[in-house]
Structure 1
Amino acid sequence: MTAERPWLEQYPAGVPAQIDVDEFASVVAVLESAIDNFRDRPAFSSLGKTLTYGEIDELSARFAAYLLGELGLKKGDRVAIMMPNCLQYPIATFGVLRAGMTVVNTNPMYTPRELKHQLVDSGTSVILVLDNFAHTVQQVLADTPVKKVITTGLGDMLGFPKGAVVNFVLKHIKKMVPPYSIPGAVRFRDTLEAGSRHALPKVEVTSDDIAFLQYTGGTTGVAKGAMLTHRNLVANMQQAAAWVGTNVRPGHEVIITALPLYHIFALTANGLVFMKFGGLNHMITNPRDMPGFVKELKGVKFTAITGVNTLFNGLLNTPGFDEVDFSSLHLTLGGGMAVQRSVAERWKKATGCTLVEAYGLTETSPAACINPMDLAEYNGSIGLPIPSTDACIKDEDGNLLPVGEVGELCIKGPQVMKGYWQRPGETAEAIDADGWLHTGDMARMDEQGFFYIVDRKKDMILVSGFNVYPNEIEDVIAMMPEVLEVAAVGVPDEKSGEAVKVVIVKKDQSLTAEQVLQHARANLTGYKRPHFVEFRSELPKTNVGKILRRELRDEATPG
């Protein structure tokens, strides 16, 4: 088998080739195991308040009992959760799953149009929303199948008087809660109270039940719901846990959870993997407030952190980050977008911990490849396929390509989604007859089985017939110390079809376009060099911090 899977030879000591997908029947079984093993240990903390595994057990059971006993929902019903990282998130999520229902993770920053599409498409019955975003729900409610709205304030689980103070400040001083009116809405705390009056019936949750409808593809058209089953998520948790577990101390890990838990990366990597280890998820509610984020890091002795390139870059450029205590940090995992060499090298220098790049997709729950945790330094690769995972490179016609050739990365394993919700045609396009998921990412594999992403198929720039990959251009420009952030896109060009344009946020205001072009001339071959340089104060990004090249491309293309 190793002839087809050269990566197995590179596996770190103690990492198995296969994982036991059947150790846990569901995400609920993982939670119950963590409660049994770590009941009195801290599980989630936010804004100075911590809940133990035992408290998560009790509160999530109450929420489940409310959904079943008070609202009369049935197994398989969809419940949307629309909030940033706060204590209500794990309580509600585990409550929905314990009731045998499906969580529809909903980005709180959605516009009314995006929210309506997701609620209608998923057939959501109930939505739990933070007060700050309830005005968006109010605008679309009448046009959706939602029967019940549950609202909550950011301070609601923080206890008295702190919770009341937080809610008052957000609403009346910071003016961050636009007024809304939703008749019949119920408060989250009241649902927990009502749930305590109902016994939680034993709901049989099976591995094939859909745990999450995780919407994806919003940047390339209409968002689709990836059906992630309990088996998908348990498999990915087992895979990632086997990969990182050799240097993890159960019951003693503290992971910084700055990416939102409604995003698949943090949901699995932080929420599930570290729950299995009895770790504490230290949740950051607003990671965009970088000075506030750094201040919070100074007060936590953390052992692990996950993030995207823009998050690590932002921290490194925030005053005071060099005063954070990194003495316990042994795991830094980067994913969601390409990690840039310049950022990885600065991270290692600042923290003493290697920034290990991983690769995944919503459709793979999400992890597919991870670099060895004992990596001495950044290597530019997305790593090796994780246990029980196969990967290959295919050409346009679905033929396997040899080592070193660039083609589409395809993934097969127990973490690959069941399909897209109510979209059999698009499911068939994504997952071929042999069970390979076509990722849409252009990549190559080296002799040792390490995979390298070259770029998104759709982001590739075609200059006079040559393929130009924005990642490479961005890496080169990001080497300049005067550059804070950069995005490369293709723009229409009469002579070459497309030309390369870079959009830059300056770190040093004296930087000129000529300096950028000079640097590009020294580091890139002719057809890869930018023809246009634009400076901006910020780049368009997704809620997780991925740079939206599509928006920059659309602006550059008239019509």
Structure 2
Amino acid sequence: MDNQRGSHIPESLNRYGYSNIIDVFERACKDYALKPAFTSFGRTLNYAELHELVNAFAVYLQRETDLKPGDRIAIQLPNLIQYPVVLFGALKAGLVIVNTNPLYSPREMQHQFADSGARALVIHKSMAHNAEKILANTNIEKVFLTQVGDLHGFVKRHLLNAAVKYLKKMEPEFYLPGALHLRQVLLKYIGQQPEPVSIKPSDTAVLQYTGGTTGLSKGAVLSHANLISNMLQGVDVLDEAPVGCVETTIAPLPLYHIYAFTISLVVMGYGGHSVLIPNPRDIDGFVKELKKWQMTAFMGLNTLFIGMCNHPSFRTIDFSQFTLTISGGCALTHKAADLWKEVTGCEIMEGYGLTETSPVVSINRPGAIQLGTIGVPVAATEVAILDPEGEPVLEGTPGELCVKGPQVMVGYWQRERETQACFTDDGYFMTGDVAVREPGGYLRIVDRAKDMILVSGFNVYPNEVEDVFCSHPAILECAAIGVADEHSGEAVKLIAVARDEIPDIKELKDWSKERLTRYKIPKYIEFVADLPKTNVGKVLRRKLKEQQAADKVA
């Protein structure tokens, strides 16, 4: 791995002289002690309370385990206030975080735990039965268990925990002898201070595993410098937004995902309040929660924007203080952006990033939004758009988007060959995304190179097809994939979810003729009840392709 990557923080952005994530945390807790920091399930921790709990967890790790700085600890939690407690507590003890999706299967858990060499695990009780099946095949020695209500008061704690276990039946029986209860661990050392740990900018902070939507997930090594740099790049953008824009930030995306993880650091840098939404798919519950707050900012993605705007009660929310919406994770359609602005009065700032870039590469800056683009590169970031031979293309010509900057990962964990393969000779990370550079330096993603459909020698990018069909009033959401065709090599197939009644297929194709070149028009259109998605709402085109192949064999 390149020893230079992930080792520095741009001085031009680092006005507080941060060296690591704990520096950010400590400043926020000192400057904003009595301001709310995180809320989940009706429980709010202010920065002072968060600081006390974080210290308690760090003390326990130092005094009652043999975990040493550099050891890995996996966190497998939904959006609970326990997440920032264990995150910053583990970092304060010098440990490396392994963020783990709570919806993982035992096989996926085993791969991530074994690959990372994690020695400890913090897990919600609803997932403990899966951990029981695979822990013997990992290096995990310490398991910390928690429940939804563990940081609430006596009455609500017992009510919440009983409801999850007995009414919703979300905690299957498990047997994990020696497992520790996180609440008891925290209570034991409340009020005590951990021993200081030296943490350099180049030290690894997080092993952030790629989504695995295109194969076996790999751990991106993100240093403290990587994450602080990207946080500061975000601060640089939001310094142009209205004052107080992140005062009350709605955070529906899971904190184990790099997008929400880094945004939460940005919010913390301003002393903002992150309202965590544990289950954004429960739109009724989500809207009910939103009515409790005068939100100033919202971090989401395309499918979530559409789902919220189509809920009748969403329009009754008070948007008078609402000034900032950021979109990432997947392409933003014109339909979603227009609908969101119509309902909330707020434009969406679409950005672009990857796990490997901590994640933000570019974004539409406040007051300079160009819908349909991913904006301009963030500060201290260089981008190159290259042809298959590695040569720069002309402005307006598609090519692979490549990135160089302080937020670019050190490399893939214990995968030197894969690391070398994804960097150019002069140090640019090759994203695998096809982009064009437009006048003014704005970037536009055409599509994933591997998702491109080749129809009779012509390139068809699924995003373009999807954006067109999503504008049709009868279609709620859709995905375009390539299927084998004896005449054209591949043909475009559109798989869609209808808003109400399924429209006439022929009429739909005729409608698209005015909006798409002939070879881009789907040869096949199929309507389904829903589309397969990741836990953060990104459509899994790979899964659709697999389903199509299986159906063909059957």
Q: Which category describes the TM-score, using the shorter chain as reference length?
A: over 0.9
Partner of 1:147: 141
Residues 116 and 185 of structure 1: CA distance in aligned 2, closer, same or farther (over 3 Å): same
Partner of 2:548: 556
Equivalent of residue 480 in structure 1, options 472, 477, 489: 472
| Seq. identity, % | 46
Q: Compute the displacement of 1:198 (Å).
A: 6.3
What pairs up with 1:513-532 in 2 under 5 angstroms?
Answer: 513-532=505-524
Secondary structure at the aligned position of 1:267 is classed as helix
Partner of 2:185: 191
Partner of 1:111: 105
Conserved? CA contact 2:326–2:349, under 8 Å: yes
Partner of 2:64: 70
Q: Compute the displacement of 1:199 (Å).
A: 4.5
Equivalent of residue 399 in structure 2, options 403, 407, 427: 407
Q: Compute the displacement of 1:313 (Å).
A: 1.0
Distance in 2 of aligned mates of 1:512 and 1:319? 27
Partner of 1:204: 198
Partner of 2:389: 397
Distance in 2 of aligned mates of 1:156 and 1:503? 43
- How big is each residue's C-alpha offset from its partner over 1:338-364, in whole Å with a ceiling of 9 and x where there is no partner? 000000001011101001100011111
Partner of 1:286: 279
Residues 323 and 248 of structure 1: CA distance in aligned 2, closer, same or farther (over 3 Å): same
Distance in 1 of aligned mates of 2:246 and 2:180? 37
Distance in 2 of aligned mates of 1:133 and 1:507? 34
Q: Compute the displacement of 1:120 (Å).
A: 0.1
Residues 217 and 301 of structure 1: CA distance in aligned 2, closer, same or farther (over 3 Å): closer
Secondary structure at the aligned position of 1:36 is classed as helix
Q: What is the one-letter code of the residue matched to 1:29? A: D
| Structure 2 alignment gaps of length 5 or more | 1-9
Equivalent of residue 348 in structure 1, options 318, 341, 364: 341
What pairs up with 1:11-90 in 2 under 5 angstroms?
Answer: 19-20=13-14, 23-90=17-84
- How big is each residue's C-alpha offset from its partner over 1:41-62, in whole Å with a ceiling of 9 and x where there is no partner? 1100111111011111110111
Partner of 1:305: 298
- How big is each residue's C-alpha offset from its partner over 1:451-504, in whole Å with a ceiling of 9 and x where there is no partner? 000000111000001000000000000011111110000001000010000111
Equivalent of residue 374 in structure 1, options 345, 348, 367: 367
Structure 1 length normalisation: TM-score?
A: 0.95
Secondary structure at the aligned position of 2:293 is classed as coil
Q: Compute the displacement of 1:431 (Å).
A: 1.9
Partner of 2:270: 277
Partner of 1:432: 424
| Structure 1 alignment gaps of length 5 or more | 1-15
Residues 250 and 526 of structure 1: CA distance in aligned 2, closer, same or farther (over 3 Å): closer
Secondary structure at the aligned position of 2:183 is classed as helix
Secondary structure at the aligned position of 1:489 is classed as strand
Equivalent of residue 466 in structure 1, options 437, 441, 458: 458
Equivalent of residue 534 in structure 2, options 539, 542, 546: 542
Conserved? CA contact 1:333–1:357, under 8 Å: yes
Equivalent of residue 95 in structure 1, options 89, 96, 106: 89
Count of aligned residue pairs for this structure pair: 542
Secondary structure at the aligned position of 1:454 is classed as strand
Q: Compute the displacement of 1:389 (Å).
A: 0.6
Q: Compute the displacement of 1:318 (Å).
A: 1.4
Distance in 2 of aligned mates of 1:236 and 1:466? 37
Q: Compute the displacement of 1:21 (Å).
A: 8.2
Distance in 2 of aligned mates of 1:105 and 1:248? 32
Secondary structure at the aligned position of 2:240 is classed as helix
Range moving further from structure 2, 515-524 or 301-310: 515-524
Secondary structure at the aligned position of 1:182 is classed as coil
Secondary structure at the aligned position of 1:292 is classed as helix
Distance in 1 of aligned mates of 2:93 and 2:327? 33
- How big is each residue's C-alpha offset from its partner over 1:233-287, in whole Å with a ceiling of 9 and x where there is no partner? 0000000111012335359711000000000001111x10000000000010110
Q: Compute the displacement of 1:130 (Å).
A: 0.5
Q: What is the one-letter code of the residue matched to 2:265? A: L
Distance in 1 of aligned mates of 2:407 and 2:529? 39
Residues 30 and 197 of structure 1: CA distance in aligned 2, closer, same or farther (over 3 Å): closer
What pairs up with 1:128-143 in 2 under 5 angstroms?
Answer: 128-143=122-137
Equivalent of residue 359 in structure 1, options 352, 361, 371: 352
Q: Compute the displacement of 1:79 (Å).
A: 0.4
Distance in 2 of aligned mates of 1:197 and 1:300? 31
- How big is each residue's C-alpha offset from its partner over 1:79-98, in whole Å with a ceiling of 9 and x where there is no partner? 00001101100000000111
Q: What is the one-letter code of the residue matched to 2:51? A: D
Conserved? CA contact 1:21–1:234, under 8 Å: no
Q: What is the one-letter code of the residue matched to 1:388? A: A
Conserved? CA contact 2:52–2:191, under 8 Å: no
Q: What is the one-letter code of the residue matched to 2:501? A: Q
